[in-house]
Amino acid sequence: MTAQEHYQFIQIVMASLGLYDGKCEGAWGPKSIAAKREWELLSDFEPAVPNRGLPFTQGCKLPKGMRWVPGNSGKITVDFITDEEFAKLYKEHALLTTSQIEGTDSKPTTTSTTSTKKTTTTTVDTVSTSASNTSADVS
């Protein structure tokens, strides 16, 4: 999982908690920092250690209801978000493909001068779910 995908996962978790109202696009900016700082002040944040709004790093202590999957897999499970809710939030906040950012289709487009613009589509497949836990790969 890339850093952007990890940040997006945390943003989606914070959005589900009502702490984050920005776009869950995986950019860790002022809104993400403010939401994480707010979360750090809540009693449910324990046993995690506040870190001034920075994202979680692999192996650190996590808030109640979150834990690292054993085996150094880099995955976090979240008990307080249902698989359906996470899937809905993830779909709503899916990372953009390169062609979406460039404003083009996934197919090459031809201009009036017959030059072809090459586009690249990035596939993001980072969320795996299990029984009643939502997890994402964070490595």
Q: What residue spans define the domains of the chain?
A: 3-137
Question: Is the pLDDT at 127 greater than 50, yes or no?
Answer: no
**Rounded percentage of the chain residues whose pLDDT exceeds 70:** 65
- What integer best gives the mean pLDDT of the chain? 75
pTM for this model (two decimals): 0.67
Residue predicted with more confidence, 18 or 131: 18
* Residue-wise pLDDT tens digits, 59-109: 899 999 998 878 766 778 899 888 888 888 878 877 666 666 677 654 443
Handedness of CA 129, 131, 134, 135 (dihedral sign): negative
d(CA 135, CA 120): 28
* Residue 30 pLDDT: 96
* Residue 47 pLDDT: 92
By CB atoms closer than 10 A (0-12, 13-18, 19+), residue 90 is buried
* Residue 61 pLDDT: 93
* Residue 116 pLDDT: 37
Q: Are 95 and 6 in contact (CB under 8 A)?
A: no
Give 41-47's long-range contacts (Cβ < 8 A, gap of 24+).
Answer: none
